[in-house]
Structure 1
Amino acid sequence: MSSNQESNNSIHRSDEELQKLAVGKLKLHDAPITLVEYDLHWPKAFEREANRIRSVLGSKALQIEHVGSTSVPGLCAKPIIDMLLVVENSADESSYVPELEAAGYILRIRESEWFEHRLFKGPDTDINLHVFSSGTSEIDRMLSFRDWLRSNKSDREKYAQVKRSLAKSKWRHVQHYADAKTSIVQEIMERANDNI
């Protein structure tokens, strides 16, 4: 284990904590994180999934956005398309989950204490579909972070450097890697907010 990971272990959530959020059995990663260079096909994969979700949910899909590292040209990323879906009330699962599940999406995470966040995996494309309620502050944060990285080369490169460094460690859960990026994300967000 690297000293970098050891220093981040104090913020890592335990298997038990992560299992409480997981729908189904929690999967161990126990490996480094695979990062790849930006792929020009990612926006097309996002559009294909967004169109499928719109066709499934219709007007219940208030907003669908490409977020995360795959939405930032020039940024390395895990080859998983992060998507943001805004619905009226993400806690009201009966209003949208059955339609998504019928189309092959699988509910994997339910975080009631964190903005009623839900996460689905896709039927045939490797995606993380993050679902939030309309008006949730996390929506603006995700979009601001994406937009800042798209327009700020210095912070984009700094973020990529931290990601590459962290990715080399062996991570018990992918969530631990995501949690370890918190400080660099906060640092970048502070600069982005100062420039609004």
Structure 2
Amino acid sequence: MPTIDEILSFDDSPPPPGASPWVVEPVAAPITLVDYDPSWPAQAAAVAARIAAALGTRALRIEHVGSTSVPGLPAKPVIDLDLTVAAPVHEAGWLPQLRAAGFVLTVREPWWHEHRLVRGAAPAANVHVFGPDSPETVKHTVFRDWLRSSAADRELYAAAKREAAEATTRGRGLVMDYNQRKEGVIREIYGRAFRAAGFLD
């Protein structure tokens, strides 16, 4: 399990020299946000069921996270899930099964909590693969649960998302540019979320 210090810290380090996280290179595309869709939880459950069927007991935890998991929040129409496996670095134990189920490995970041990203379609889904000691899965659920409970921070985050999407689309940027533009507001909200969850006094 991660320590509290690990949960409360943010690692903004760039990739090691010469390393790239991209297995499939990203392309610039408009960032399209849509209003919250009440079908998103059911879509997430369907993707989770595909993962569970493919991995069986090797799927230690599957959690719907990200903006599509927060009722009332606009989002890109892509389901985000966190998948916990025993050892992401041992890809032979989980990746072939997910590939057979239609998922594509897109990102590999061994320097950042051994993170992998696989993408699925119908519905579009990003599945973030972490190990049981990763602080990111804790952060994501704390952030989600706080946004579900705080109308003020939902509105703050929604405004930041819309502004970031417009600026990124106008500049023909990538999704990582969109994410970077939201980062200041996300960190601000995290402070309140951590406090509400009891990680801070």
- Could you list the structure 1 runs, at least 4 aligned residues long, displaced by more than 6 angstroms after superposition: none
State how far apart, in whole Å, the 2-side matches of 1:135 and 1:88 are: 9
Q: Distance in 2 between matches of 1:140 and 1:30?
A: 30
Identify the residue that residue 147 of structure 2 maps to in structure 1: 149
Superposed, which structure 2 residues align to 1:74-153 within 5 Å? 74-153=72-151
Provide the rounded CA distance (Å) in 1 between the counterparts of 2:121 and 2:28.
21
Maintained 8 Å contact 1:68/1:146: yes
- Shift of the 120–186 alpha-carbon distance from structure 1 to 2, 3 Å rule, reads same
| Greater mean deviation of Cα atoms: 50-59 or 171-180 | 171-180
- Equivalent residue letter for 2:115: H
**Are the structure 2 counterparts of residues 30 and 54 from structure 1 closer, same or farther at C-alpha, using a change threshold of 3 Å?**
closer
C-alpha distance 123-157 of structure 1, shift in aligned 2 (>3 A): closer
Q: What do residues 16-56 of structure 1 show as CA deviations (whole Å, max 9, x unaligned)?
A: 98x811113x132153x110000011001001111111011
Q: 1:160 aligns to what?
A: 158
Aligned residues: 181
What's the secondary structure of 1:21's corresponding residue?
Answer: coil
Counterpart-to-counterpart distance in 2, 1:90 and 1:152: 33
TM-score (norm 2): 0.85
Q: Distance in 2 between matches of 1:131 and 1:64?
A: 9
C-alpha deviations, 1:77-125, integer Å up to 9, x for none? 0000001100011111111001101111100000111111100111432
Q: 1: distance between equivalents of 2:181 and 2:115?
A: 19
Show CA shifts across 1:112-167 (max 9, x none).
11111100111432000000001211110011000000011111110001111111
| Kept after mapping to 2: 8 A contact 1:106/1:123 | no
Task: Tell whether 2:57 aligns with 1:64.
Answer: no
1:38 touches 1:77 (CA, 8 Å); kept in 2? Answer: yes
1:109 is aligned with what amino acid? Answer: V
Runs of 5+ unmatched residues, structure 2: 1-11
Q: How does 1:17-28 map to 2 (within 5 A)?
A: 20-24=20-24, 26-28=25-27
Note if contact 1:109-1:118 (Cα within 8 Å) is conserved in structure 2: yes
- State the AA in 2 paired with 1:167: A
Task: Give TM-score scaled by structure 1 length.
Answer: 0.87
Could you tell me how far apart the structure 1 residues matched to 2:33 and 2:65 are?
16
The alignment status of 1:184 with 2:182, answered yes or no, reads: no
